[in-house]
Amino acid sequence: MENPRFISYIRVSTDRQGKSGLGLEAQRSAVKNHLLANTGELLAEFVEVESGKKNNREELNRAIAQCRATGAKLIIAKLDRLARNVHFISGLLESGVAFCAADMPNADRFMLHVYAAMAEEEARRISQRTREALKAAKARGVALGTACGALAARNAAEADRAAQKIGPAIAELKDQGLSIRKIADRLNFDKVLTENGGKWHPTSVQRAYQRFCSLP
């Protein structure tokens, strides 16, 4: 029986990440591990430096065309690297090209829709919190350029600290073969709270693990 063939699509959000390789190697590693687990063959890799909010992406279109031409499956490291947009994911599902995410290899069409919806909602909430924080800063008379930089730096530092704390535990559970959803369930069962004191969800586990993997 012929080994399954894959075309990988990797996306980073900024030129800085693209030039430095930040985020690229973690995604490549996830894809490589999936291929090893499934004795898969990688035919080509397409890398894009583009915002997840933009739906028309040249490299992704090339990857899809290559999948159609070869009959290969499109593989991405993480669903949120493809898009935080339910409409976009739905369109891809209807394109006729099979695809999978290395971090949730057994997800069916329904689960892919659910995860996309969760990622989209999380992106909306982040945007809303940022707008509210900037509005409050402006009301206090803070220069917005300064406030944006300070807020971004503070949020990034806090997220790094949180990822550093929970990352090893998530990595250990992944090594035991648990899925992202099972890890969220395990953390909640063990009464391990998020940094905000709430429950864990698959998207928050994904985000924390991805940030942990990108830490220097």
pLDDT tens for 28-53 read 888 999 999 888 899 999 988 765 55
**In this predicted structure, what is the pLDDT of residue 59?**
86
Print the domain residue range for 189: 142-214
Tell me how many domains the chain contains: 2
Top-confidence residue, 16 or 102: 102
Helix (H) or strand (E) holding 99: strand 99-101
pTM above 0.85, yes or no: no
Percent of the chain with pLDDT over 90: 11
84/10 same-domain check: yes
Separation CA 216–CA 164 (nearest Å): 11
186/105 same-domain check: no
Give domain status of residue 55, yes or no.
yes
Q: Any residues with CB less than 8 A from the CB of 15 and at least 6 apart, and which?
A: 49
34/93 same-domain check: yes
Separation CA 103–CA 148 (nearest Å): 32
Q: Among residues 70, 21, 62, 78, which one has the least CA distance to residue 41?
A: 70
Give domain status of residue 123, yes or no.
no
CATH of residue 69's domain is 3.40.50.1390
Give domain status of residue 122, yes or no.
no
Give domain status of residue 37, yes or no.
yes
Q: Any residues with CB less than 8 A from the CB of 154 and at least 6 apart, and which?
A: none
- For residue 44, which phi and psi values (nearest 5 degrees)? -165, 160
Rounded to 5°, the CA angle 118-119-122 comes to 85
Whole-number average pLDDT of the chain: 76
Q: Is the pLDDT of residue 27 over 70?
A: yes
pLDDT tens for 189-209 read 888 888 777 888 988 888 888
- CA 117, 122, 127, 133 torsion-angle sign: positive
Give domain status of residue 132, yes or no.
no
146/105 same-domain check: no
Q: Any residues with CB less than 8 A from the CB of 8 and at least 6 apart, and which?
A: 28, 31, 42, 44, 45, 46, 63, 74, 75, 76
Helix (H) or strand (E) holding 98: none
3-class DSSP assignment, residue 145 = helix
The secondary structure of residue 77, as a DSSP letter, is S
